[in-house]
Amino acid sequence: MTRPDERQNDQLRPISFIPDVAPHSNGSVLVSFGNTRVICTATIEDDVPRWMKQQRVAGGWVTAEYSMLPYSTLDRKSRDISRGKLDGRSSEIQRLIGRALRAVVDLKKLGQRTVWIDCDVLQADGGTRTASVTGGCVAMAIALNRLMGAGKLKEFPLTQLVAAISAGVYQDVPVLDLNYPEDKNASVDFNVVMTERLEFVEVQGSGEEAVFTSEQMDAMLALAKKGVGELITLQKAAILEADRPGGDAFASLAAAFKK
């Protein structure tokens, strides 16, 4: 079996993180999983949701919004606002992003603050939700580093990093990090969210008009574990890069789109 882009079965697509692409946010990154590109930003507000105030819940909150820009797909995708409501897929994905990031944040150490994670898909080629979780964590880490550096946090609230990757069964073979042609034709599709300690946060998986064996599931989870380990290493490098002064993020952004 040969994959459409000739990768090995356990090989990620080319992954890149370009930090500081949205200067008005507290932290931002353009994350690319192959041809899937998502801008992830973290904006910190000194306030918490009304329900937390009403219930006198201590600490802060982390939440996410996700959208696919109209030109991110081959056929123009209408904006949610033009339909008057958020579509079910976008709602499910942004809830996933929020759950994944809250799993690695000590909300009490965050204080009375809300971290807004915005994930906007520039180009979709499979794996937009996994790229959003992975990039969203980088944007949040950058923002929290800066808040800590400014002396506004007594203790660092991020306990560890979190990342997500897809795995599936394509032409009867378990493979890692499905692109769109593979995702479209896969008989089984999994999305796996894990921490840097390789603990599971969430596993989403189903057969696409097909069934799968326990051996295939074990193989997909093993692939995901390998992929997340590699992503965590790349995340750490991106977070460190954002802390280096003098970087030209927009030149890097222009270079990325020439590839």
Detail the residues annotated as belonging to a binding site for phosphate: 89, 127-129
| Residue spans of beta strands (DSSP E) within 34-155 | 36-45, 61-68, 114-123
Residue the block writes with tokens 């990342």: 163
- Facing residues of 41 across strands? 28, 118
Long-range pairs, 71-76, Cβ under 8 A, ≥24: 71/122, 72/121, 72/122, 72/123, 72/124, 73/124
Nearest alpha carbon to residue 119 among 143, 90, 144, 145: 90
Rounded Cα distance between 38 and 30, Å, is 6
> What are residue 46's phi and psi, to 5 degrees?
-85, 60
C-alpha torsion sign, points 234, 93, 36, 44? negative
Question: Residue 8: CB partners within 8 Å, gap ≥ 6?
Answer: none
- DSSP state for residue 118 in the 8-state scheme: E
Which parts are annotated binding residues? Answer: 89, 127-129
**Chain-centre distance for alpha carbon 253:** 18
In terms of Cβ atoms closer than 10 Å to its own Cβ (0-12, 13-18, 19+), residue 138 is buried
